[in-house]
Chains A and B, each alone.
Chain A
Amino acid sequence: MSLRPFSELSRRRLLRVALGAGGLVAGGVGSVFALRGSAPRVEGLRALSPHEYRTMASLAEAMFPRETLPAGDPAVDLARAFDGYLADEPTWARDEAKQALTLLELGPVLFDRRLATFSNLALSERVAHFERWGRSDSGLRRQVATGFRKFLCLVFYDQPSAWPGLGYEGPMRP
């Protein structure tokens, strides 16, 4: 499903990137994570924590803003689909994807010196932030953006409810 691997996203590299941004050193690890605030409890998650689920849901909303979807377009829970996908991935791939979610969540603090994490940005800011990651000079940030974008688009447009808006009538039946 086009996500694995965030192969450059080793723990060592993640730490180096974060330290390079200066955020963790300046603010202290605890206070950076505190900026995320609390995440609502979500029942039945298999791989993601509530915070990680919230990051993915916030990204999904940025990718497919509800107000731009015509009535009848899919309301699939993309973050839960990601949780289900990750649950069956090997441990290393699951860990890397979760690290990527953490990096995305803390991105505005680490790289843009904001005092709000990704999920706490306004929708338009989230869209702009994620677009910037896709165009970033940093290979790591582009990797994260590419991996998540591909996954979300694949799942979103694979839903039958998305097809009428595309002029696609779905598979031919044998």
Chain B
Amino acid sequence: MSAGAITDCSQASPGDVTVEVCVIGSGSGGATAAWELAKAGRDVLVLEEGGDYTGRALTQRDGAMYDQLYMDRGGRATSDLSIAVLQGRVLGGGGVINASDVVPIDDDVARHWQKKFGLSGFGPESLEPFRKAALEDLSANRPADELLNRNNQLLRDGAGKLGWKGEVMLHNRVGCVGSGTCLIGCAFDAKRNPRFVAIPRALEAGARVFTRARAVRLDDAGKELKRVAVRCLDAKGYHEGAAFTVRARHVVLAANAVSSAELLLKSGLGNEHVGHHLSLQPQLPVTVRYDDEVRFFRGIPQAYAVTQFEQREHPEHGWWGFRLEAIAGTPGIVGSLLPEVGAPGLELMRGYSKLGAALLLLPDAMQGRVRVESSGRLRIDYALDEELRGRFREAVKAMARLSLAVGAKEVYVPSVPPVRVRSEAELGNVDGLTLAPTTAPLLSAHQQGTVRMAPNERDGAASPEGEVYGTRGVFVFDSSGFPSSASSHTMAPIITVSRMLARQLAARG
């Protein structure tokens, strides 16, 4: 088998192609599937809408990198603008722009999938070899203490003082220099993400990769050869150009839980579950002001997590509760979160180097929905119910208590109006946090569930093998298939499940 290559479709249209397997998306799910299927001797083509960014091309500047590495130039959001939906659009997918945390599917979550959703093949024993392989792919390791910046240390110290459980999460960095710009790509190529592991190995095994190639429609899903309509994009990915067609015996969707569902809906494929059950796993950033320098923008942004308030065996939802995780942001992103206008906003930002920050991360009840309007526009609907709002308020109070325990001057929720807590006596201020639409900078980094797997068509959109009901040979190998939140960080779970499903597909012949 000769090695495959990366073709940039912004330079020239490759023309129509016929392959055995067309994989749509090059992130954790797509890259892993491509590698496994190519290794098994399949003729594989990967379509990626984004460009190929590594090393110095990752400029560490907010404007250019959100523009180039994220879907909709960083502007994707729910239809009421309440939640920013962060989704990678780059060769390597979300792994290029995530915080590099490696949190495998928990045994309890796997059992929940078996028990509540009837996914008998997803038990801890079945998943174990694939979880192990995912950790190997990612070179998963525990960050050394000296790489924990002061923001992470403060979170750990606070948890220790209060006797709360927490952990330094595994990560997939090797040779990290602590530049701190993980969320807009690592210019030092220290992330062992799909771009540096599964993609090169898939290429070695003969797979081909087209970048700046947007799959716009999938036809003939019941026939032996499916047709994927593709448009080349320009060099920046702004405008569609030449069209070509990929004919494939199998099509593997791995374009993220939003985009995989979007393509099925635009193509009129799948049953009534497609697009439903969207989990956004919403997160709320909270900043903390200290008297002295924190410099959260250097070192690993997100290493320590407070796990005290997590529940793993919730009968209805599996993983539940909330986590507090350290986070950092470059000036553009931190500035854009603040609600203040004029001089007060400038004054707050002058204290940037004394800020600490955390993300409050909540598993949800999969209450969202991806739709395509009659105009063809994507719409992401998601409503925060009162239970979720209440859990967020609990999480803010926990974060405030922890921060005050380590000497914080003020805990500040960048909401409208802002919520400030300067002492235990002010914890009640948090009850004023309404979380009404567009009053707080909520975000989602782990979308899941829109083409969920189930043992029958009545309960889900895809079979336990990932095959979309109503099609023959169209699969979902990304977080779309997860029936509930798999983990607080979905990269390792997606690799785990994709490899398992890809091997099953390869074994089909």
Other A-B pairs, 6, CB within 8 Å; known A1-B66, A151-B336, A157-B335: A1-B67, A2-B336, A142-B439, A153-B332, A156-B332, A165-B349
- B80 beta carbon closer than 8 Å to chain A: yes
- B74 beta carbon closer than 8 Å to chain A: yes
State the B residues within 8 Å of A (CB).
55-56, 59-63, 66-67, 72-77, 79-81, 84, 177-181, 187-188, 236, 238-239, 293, 295, 297, 330-336, 338-339, 341-343, 345-346, 349-350, 352-354, 375, 377, 379, 416-417, 437-439
Chain B's closest residue to A172 (CB) is B179
Q: Give CA–CA (A160, B386) in the complex, Å.
A: 42
Report yes or no: B342 in contact with A127, Cβ–Cβ below 8 A.
Answer: yes
Report yes or no: A157 in contact with B349, Cβ–Cβ below 8 A.
Answer: yes
Report yes or no: A146 in contact with B74, Cβ–Cβ below 8 A.
Answer: no
Residues in B neighbouring A71, C-beta threshold 8 A = none
Report yes or no: A158 in contact with B332, Cβ–Cβ below 8 A.
Answer: yes
A165 in contact with B84 given A62-B341, A154-B63 (CB within 8 Å): no
Q: Give CA–CA (A166, B338) in the complex, Å.
A: 15
CB distance from B159 to the nearest CB of A (A): 27
- A36 beta carbon closer than 8 Å to chain B: no
In the assembled complex, 27 residue pairs joining A and B whose CB atoms fall closer than 8 Å, in A order, are A1-B75, A3-B75, A5-B81, A6-B81, A7-B79, A68-B343, A88-B238, A88-B239, A89-B238, A131-B342, A134-B416, A146-B81, A146-B438, A154-B336, A156-B332, A157-B335, A157-B349, A158-B63, A166-B350, A167-B295, A167-B353, A168-B352, A168-B353, A171-B181, A172-B177, A174-B55, A174-B188
A65 in contact with B342 given A157-B349, A174-B187 (CB within 8 Å): yes
- A98 beta carbon closer than 8 Å to chain B: no
CB distance from B81 to the nearest CB of A (A): 5
> In chain A between 103 and 156, which residues have their CB closer than 8 angstroms to a CB of chain B?
127, 130-131, 134-135, 139, 142-143, 146-147, 149-151, 153-156
A149 in contact with B336 given A1-B74, A7-B379, A142-B439 (CB within 8 Å): yes
Q: Which of B56, B73, B331, B437 makes the CB contact (< 8 A) with A142?
A: B437
Dominant secondary structure at the A interface: helix
Residues in B neighbouring A134, C-beta threshold 8 A = 339, 341, 416
Q: Give CA–CA (A156, B61) in the complex, Å.
A: 12
Q: Which of B55, B335, B438 makes the CB contact (< 8 A) with A143?
A: B438
A174 in contact with B417 given A7-B379, A158-B61 (CB within 8 Å): no
Report yes or no: A158 in contact with B377, Cβ–Cβ below 8 A.
Answer: no
What per-residue 1/0 map shows which CB atoms of A2-24 lie under 8 Å from chain B?
11111110000000000000000
Chain B's closest residue to A124 (CB) is B342
CB distance from B373 to the nearest CB of A (A): 10
- A64 beta carbon closer than 8 Å to chain B: yes
- A69 beta carbon closer than 8 Å to chain B: yes
CB distance from A92 to the nearest CB of B (A): 7
The 10 closest A-B pairs by CB, nearest first: A167-B353, A171-B60, A157-B335, A4-B75, A158-B332, A153-B335, A157-B331, A166-B352, A153-B336, A88-B238
Report yes or no: A149 in contact with B339, Cβ–Cβ below 8 A.
Answer: yes
Q: Which of B345, B352, B377 makes the CB contact (< 8 A) with A167?
A: B352
Residues in B neighbouring A8, C-beta threshold 8 A = 79-81
Q: Which of A6, A85, A131, A166 makes the CB contact (< 8 A) with B331?
A: A166
- A162 beta carbon closer than 8 Å to chain B: yes
Residues in A neighbouring B338, C-beta threshold 8 A = 153
Report yes or no: B335 in contact with A65, Cβ–Cβ below 8 A.
Answer: no
Q: Give CA–CA (A62, B343) in the complex, Å.
A: 9
Residues in A neighbouring B353, C-beta threshold 8 A = 166-168
Chain B's closest residue to A69 (CB) is B346
Report yes or no: A166 in contact with B345, Cβ–Cβ below 8 A.
Answer: no
- A63 beta carbon closer than 8 Å to chain B: yes
Residues in B neighbouring A142, C-beta threshold 8 A = 416, 437-439
A158 in contact with B331 given A2-B75, A2-B336, A4-B73 (CB within 8 Å): yes
Chain B's closest residue to A156 (CB) is B335
Chain B's closest residue to A147 (CB) is B81
Chain A's closest residue to B340 (CB) is A131
Report yes or no: B339 in contact with A155, Cβ–Cβ below 8 A.
Answer: no
Chain A's closest residue to B67 (CB) is A1
CB distance from A9 to the nearest CB of B (A): 10
CB distance from A56 to the nearest CB of B (A): 15
Report yes or no: A5 in contact with B75, Cβ–Cβ below 8 A.
Answer: yes
Residues in B neighbouring A172, C-beta threshold 8 A = 60, 177-180, 187
Report yes or no: B77 in contact with A155, Cβ–Cβ below 8 A.
Answer: no
CB distance from A147 to the nearest CB of B (A): 7
Q: Give CA–CA (A98, B330) in the complex, Å.
A: 28
Q: Give CA–CA (A88, B354) in the complex, Å.
A: 37
Most-contacted residue by chain B among A88, A134, A150, A162 (CB, 10 A) = A150
Residues in A neighbouring B343, C-beta threshold 8 A = 65, 68
Residues in B neighbouring A33, C-beta threshold 8 A = none
Chain B's closest residue to A6 (CB) is B81
Residues in B neighbouring A143, C-beta threshold 8 A = 80-81, 438
Chain B's closest residue to A64 (CB) is B346
Chain B's closest residue to A165 (CB) is B350
Chain A's closest residue to B62 (CB) is A158
Residues in A neighbouring B346, C-beta threshold 8 A = 64, 68-69
Report yes or no: A130 in contact with B331, Cβ–Cβ below 8 A.
Answer: no
Residues in A neighbouring B75, C-beta threshold 8 A = 1-5
Report yes or no: B331 in contact with A7, Cβ–Cβ below 8 A.
Answer: no
Q: Give CA–CA (A143, B353) in the complex, Å.
A: 29
CB distance from B378 to the nearest CB of A (A): 9
